[in-house]
Amino acid sequence: MNLRVDRCLRHALLSKIYLFQLIDKSFLFRQKHKYHLYLWCFLMTSKLPPLAWFRAFEAAARHLNMTVAAQELGLTQPAVSQQVQLLEHRFRMTLFERRPRGLALTDAGRRLLPQVSESIGGLTRLIAEFDSQQQAKKLKIAASASFTRAYITPVLPGFLDMHPNLRIRIRTTLWHDDYLNSDADLEVRFGSSGLAGKGALELCRDRVVVVCAPNFFETSPEWADICAAPRIQTAAISETWERWATALKLPKPEGEVHVVDSHGLGLDFALCGAGLVLTSLLMAAPHLLNGDLVMPYEGYVDANERYFLAINESTDNLFAKPLADQIRQHTMKLMQAVLDEFFQ
């Protein structure tokens, strides 16, 4: 033990010199090294006694027998008895009445036992919870919140039923740089094919369409009506209202537009009747099929920015590919359904 520790223990000893009155000298001076004395005094001045003392007291109080308590704790009977005595010295009160055929709790012991039992029980449950989390298999997913709601959440219940010990961690992402340092096992990336990255597989050939709430127009609108209505632009895509109109050989709309970061926010605007949004057909598909949204104009252009699935091979997670396959199947199913219903 170095000099610094020596000084600390000496300080604890000198600052609480009166504790010598509580020391069982027959025990202390049997020790062969002076630091046992310093450590004793340090422990006795600590605000929180060691957990082992409380465990010994709780076991002895439950069984009212030091020998049985020692067997439960994997200790010797003298060791348990000594820890109980240390706790009694620390509190300066007797916790047990020692009788020829066992123990009996004093009033102080009966008052202390429920609180100690509750605390030890809470620690035991917490340790069990942490152990179960360590034993559980995990799958980390990175995807935008809107894509997660539309295409990951619907397949998770069935997937987790097949893998009940699996724990999912989803981290929401939006921009390309969110993936640069990602440690996710499975990523749903959004962007152009050049930015999707190595190993990323395109989910489908997406389209950019205009959608709005069913009751947004009282009658079937003309293009001029659409241009005059409040319009919403998604900043995540390169297709602006002007470019979209030019590609379809339509007059360019004029005036300011609302701008949102993601397809999900744009769809939320449209759902509440705030305007028309230029958005991904893939992301609008669940709402179109449910009748929550409609396409007031049936034109479309192929999307420059699309959704890609990427599996992190360095993590070697066995659950990433099976879940990716289910997400792909669900995506293709909804995309085909919306194409059959709205583009035949």
Cα distance between residue 288 and residue 285, in whole Å: 5
Count of beta carbons in the 10 Å neighbourhood of residue 202: 13
Are β-strands 201-202 and 166-172 bridged in parallel, bridged antiparallel, or unpaired?
unpaired
Give residue for tokens 């949004």: 277
> Which secondary-structure segment (H or E) carries 124?
helix 107-135
pLDDT tens string, the chain, 344 residues long: the values are 444 434 444 444 433 433 333 344 434 444 444 445 445 555 555 567 888 899 999 999 999 999 999 999 999 999 999 999 998 988 888 999 988 888 899 999 999 999 998 988 888 888 777 665 554 588 999 998 999 999 999 999 999 999 888 889 998 876 666 666 678 899 998 888 777 777 788 988 999 999 999 999 999 999 999 999 999 998 888 889 999 999 999 999 988 899 998 899 999 999 999 999 999 999 999 999 999 999 999 899 999 999 999 888 777 788 999 999 999 999 999 999 999 999 87
Cα 37 to Cα 74: distance, rounded to the nearest angstrom: 26
d(CA 92, CA 213): 75
What domains lie within the chain, and their CATH numbers?
3-133 (1.10.10.10), 138-193+309-335 (3.40.190.10), 207-302 (3.40.190.10)
**Cα distance from N-terminal residue to C-terminal residue, the chain:** 84
